A and B are shown apart, each in its own frame.
Chain A
Amino acid sequence: MSEPQAATKPHMEYEKVLSGSSTQVAQFDTNDKTALQKFQHFLHGSPAAVPLIVLLLSLTVFGAILGTKFFSAFSLTLILQQVAITGIIGAAQTLIILTAGIDLSVGAIMVLSSVVMGQLAIHYGIPTPLAIVGGFAVGAICGLINGFLVARIKLPPFIVTLGMWQIVLATNFLYSANETIRSQDLAAQAPLLQFFGENIRIGGAVFTYGVIAMVLLVLVLWYVLNSTAWGRHLYAVGDDPDAAELAGVNVKKMLISVYTISGIICALGGWALIGRIGSVSPTAGQFANIESITAVVIGGLSLFGGRGSILGMLFGALIVGVFSLGLRLIGTDPQWTYLLIGVLIIAAVAIDQWIRKVAG
């Protein structure tokens, strides 16, 4: 209302010099961008692009070397099966890392949940659906404790989950006496526990329910993170907790809910793990925490929080899967897989730093 009025007023004498200056409003875009800068800008805008490009490249290279042995519907879906657990646990890890935290206890929570499901169903004779609920409850409680210690007691997430990792793993061994429940006993008494091992076949492609669960989980979380208040708050808390607090986000409540949901996702991972390996084994999944962090980092999420896409994590997990199967089919020593994954991790962080320059 007032501006047009101001415009009609005659210029004051000292303002005359302004007439010759630029009238453009301040903006971040510069027109003199090189192709590389434009590419950098594109990568900055779509955080899942780098891992997707790497994934497609590695698929092409291994496909070219190995032919149909690698590039068939069967083996491509096999890769999905082999990364299903990492993908599910990686989703839990993604939520935590987006809040600028880290969760070292995800693998242990997964194993304990699976052991509780198995023990309740087989040794205590509780109906399988209730046993599964019991497993989920254990996952949720572990996550809740993590969240409480991080949000309320203000301990660093690294320390809290380092401690929880050991506590949960020790509980798992003490509780189960490290006894494996055999696949055949589960099939006879509690087949529902092996639910995620069942599959749908389309031609040569094999999709286990575990794979479908992983993809659905990632898609749901992708929607939640991008299109709900809770999701946007999560990014805000990870980017700058103080700013989020001032903007009216209840940071403490947010963190506790994120860790609890992460624990529940870990329990889902535990259920899927039973489907994958058939049996309930207290020693399974020992490296799930490292594998999930690897998937997240290769997937281009920032360990400093608030940046990255959960789709990137899925691509990151798949890149590791493609490398593992591809290199094993070529027949290399397993150490080469570890070496290349190590290179990928460092490269991913380096690329992340380079992309960040566009904003700086």
Chain B
Amino acid sequence: MKKTVLTAAFATLALGVVFAAPASAAGVSACLITKTDTNPFFVKMKEGATAKAKELGVTLKSYAGKIDGDSESQVAAIETCIADGAKGILLTASDTKGIVPAVQEARKAGLLVIALDTPLDPIDAADATFATDNLLAGELIGKWAAATLGDKAKDAKIALLNLTPAQPSVDVLRNQGFMKGFGIDVGDITRIGDEKDPRIVGNDVTNGNEEGGRTAMENLLQKDPGINVVHTINEPAAAGAYEALKAVGKEKDVLIVSVDGGCPGVKNVKEGIIGATSQQYPLLMASLGIEAIKKFADTGEKPKPTAGKNFFDTGVALVTDKPAKGVPSIDTKEGTAKCWG
């Protein structure tokens, strides 16, 4: 009696294995691994990936770290995807260096790994990178600020509100891009804060949120109340900086520029709180990524980088209602239609 039960159990298990194997081989499955599932940027990314996966008949599984910087959960997610027999992984890495060994394991197991938004270190650790050109995003707002100030750009007083003390690549690229665009000698382009230009009042960190933006702006205003240009890592930091400026009655004298293109941010551009912002397209990154995985599964072909760059550029557009000469831009109406979050 006992024996029959056991045999039956084994038989069922064996049948299950037999049926399960071809089932997973028939459909294409893909993984999306983001830094968090709470940041609107990644929420939008997931939306884009889910919609595209549904359209192409790809099974999508999404994973995320618990907080920004939680690399362990991401490594566990990669291992799960390998075990699950996925065809490809879309990854926004928290730790761009530390995750490389896990990515190598996945590639060895025959998965296509595409880095979204954040390039790995080294960048060719992934099969491809779909991202915003953050240096260009910075350059656009730098150029716009310089052109808008005109002759006054020569004796501008600039505050730079960055992300975190660790200087992650996205932070460095936007900061240095802004300086390049504004016409400041950037020194070492991989480092924030080594510039000697007297127009720079100072750098401070914001953690990319309103609270940090406000405190950082207060600190720099205390250093020099004459600040008239503010570069912010993202729009929440810009909103916080604006509150600090408003508290001292300087909000009308200062030009704030930012990067991201989230819906509240674009609305702030429309109302003149932020002068201009560089908009990035997380939805596009994710949907292109799913298409690439589907193509790889069908034909074995891997995506190629944009000509002249070591990654696939998903585009960036300057959003402003005060276009400056020589700097291509879209207005807030178009920006609102494409905004996220």
Q: Which residues of A contact B222 (CB under 8 A)?
A: 69, 74-75, 78, 325, 329
- Measuring CB to CB, which residues of chain A are less than 8 angstroms from any residue of chain B? 69, 74-75, 78, 81-82, 85, 173, 177-180, 182-184, 197, 199, 206, 273, 276-279, 281-286, 324-325, 328-329, 331, 333-335, 338
CA distance A199 to B243 in the complex (A): 13
Q: Which residues of B contact A179 (CB under 8 A)?
A: 40, 264, 341
B residues 266-311 near A (Cβ < 8 Å) are 267-268, 271, 273
Q: Are B247 and A277 in contact (CB under 8 A)?
A: no
Known A177-B43, A179-B341, A199-B247; contact A335-B214, beta-carbon cutoff 8 A? no
A176–chain B nearest beta-carbon distance, Å: 9
Q: Are B219 and A329 in contact (CB under 8 A)?
A: yes
B20–chain A nearest beta-carbon distance, Å: 33
A85, A277, A338: residue with the most chain B Cβ atoms closer than 10 Å: A277
Is B261 positioned at the interface, with any CB of A under 8 Å from its CB?
A: no
Q: Are B240 and A180 in contact (CB under 8 A)?
A: no
Which of B210, B215, B223 touches A281 (beta carbons < 8 Å)?
B210
Question: 30 A-B Cβ contacts within 8 A?
Answer: A78-B218, A180-B210, A180-B239, A182-B268, A184-B267, A184-B271, A199-B247, A273-B211, A276-B243, A277-B210, A277-B211, A277-B239, A279-B210, A281-B209, A281-B210, A281-B211, A283-B38, A284-B210, A284-B211, A285-B211, A286-B207, A325-B219, A328-B223, A329-B219, A329-B222, A329-B223, A331-B202, A334-B204, A334-B205, A335-B165
Is B242 positioned at the interface, with any CB of A under 8 Å from its CB?
A: yes
Given contacts A279-B239, A284-B209, 15 further A-B contacts (CB under 8 A): A75-B222, A81-B218, A173-B38, A177-B40, A179-B341, A184-B268, A206-B247, A278-B214, A278-B242, A281-B210, A283-B38, A328-B204, A329-B222, A329-B223, A334-B204
Contact mask B231-259 → A, CB, 8 Å, 1/0? Answer: 00000100110110011000000000000
Q: Are B43 and A283 in contact (CB under 8 A)?
A: no
Q: Are B236 and A283 in contact (CB under 8 A)?
A: yes
CA distance A179 to B247 in the complex (A): 24
A6–chain B nearest beta-carbon distance, Å: 72
Is B104 positioned at the interface, with any CB of A under 8 Å from its CB?
A: no
Q: Are B211 and A278 in contact (CB under 8 A)?
A: no
Q: Which residues of B contact A333 (CB under 8 A)?
A: 165, 193
Which of A178, A273, A276, A329 touches B43 (beta carbons < 8 Å)?
A178
Known A178-B40, A284-B211, A325-B219; contact A183-B242, beta-carbon cutoff 8 A? yes
Size of B's binding interface in residues, CB under 8 A: 32
CA distance A278 to B242 in the complex (A): 9
* Nearest opposing residue in chain A for B40, CB measure: A178
B residues 34-79 near A (Cβ < 8 Å) are 38-40, 43
CA distance A99 to B243 in the complex (A): 38
* Nearest opposing residue in chain B for A281, CB measure: B210
- Enumerate the 8 nearest inter-chain pairs by beta-carbon distance, A residue then B residue, closest first: A277-B210, A278-B243, A173-B38, A328-B219, A334-B165, A178-B38, A284-B211, A281-B210
Q: Are A277 and B214 in contact (CB under 8 A)?
A: yes
B129–chain A nearest beta-carbon distance, Å: 25
* Nearest opposing residue in chain B for A321, CB measure: B215
B57–chain A nearest beta-carbon distance, Å: 28
CA distance A177 to B44 in the complex (A): 11
Q: Are B218 and A82 in contact (CB under 8 A)?
A: yes
CA distance A277 to B238 in the complex (A): 11
* Nearest opposing residue in chain B for A337, CB measure: B165
A111–chain B nearest beta-carbon distance, Å: 10
A137–chain B nearest beta-carbon distance, Å: 24
B282–chain A nearest beta-carbon distance, Å: 14
CA distance A74 to B222 in the complex (A): 9
Q: Which residues of A contact B219 (CB under 8 A)?
A: 324-325, 328-329
Q: Which residues of B contact A78 (CB under 8 A)?
A: 218, 222
Q: Are B38 and A276 in contact (CB under 8 A)?
A: no
Q: Are B211 and A178 in contact (CB under 8 A)?
A: no
Q: Which residues of A contact B211 (CB under 8 A)?
A: 85, 273, 276-277, 281, 284-285
Which of A85, A178, A206, A284 touches B39 (beta carbons < 8 Å)?
A178
Q: Are B240 and A277 in contact (CB under 8 A)?
A: yes
A79–chain B nearest beta-carbon distance, Å: 10
CA distance A69 to B218 in the complex (A): 13
CA distance A167 to B204 in the complex (A): 32
* Nearest opposing residue in chain A for B201, CB measure: A331
CA distance A182 to B273 in the complex (A): 11
Q: Which residues of A contact B267 (CB under 8 A)?
A: 182, 184
A286–chain B nearest beta-carbon distance, Å: 8
CA distance A81 to B202 in the complex (A): 21
Which of B205, B210, B215, B271 touches A82 (beta carbons < 8 Å)?
B215
Q: Are A182 and B264 in contact (CB under 8 A)?
A: yes
CA distance A183 to B202 in the complex (A): 26
Q: Which residues of B contact A180 (CB under 8 A)?
A: 210, 236, 239, 264
CA distance A331 to B215 in the complex (A): 15
Q: Which residues of B contact A206 (CB under 8 A)?
A: 247
